[in-house]
Structure 1
Amino acid sequence: MLDFADATIGKAPTRLTLADLDAQLILSFLDHLEKERSNGARTPQRPPGGTSLFP
Structure 2
Amino acid sequence: MSATDKAKNKAEEMAGKAKEKFGHATGNPDKENEGKVDQAKANVKDAAEKVKDAFRH
Instruction: From the two aligned structures, give the one with the greater helix fraction.
Output: 2
Q: Shared topology, TM-score over 0.5?
A: no
User: Who wins on radius of gyration, i.e. which is larger?
Assistant: 1
Q: Normalized against structure 1, the TM-score is what?
A: 0.37
Higher RCO (CA < 8 A, seq sep 6+): 2
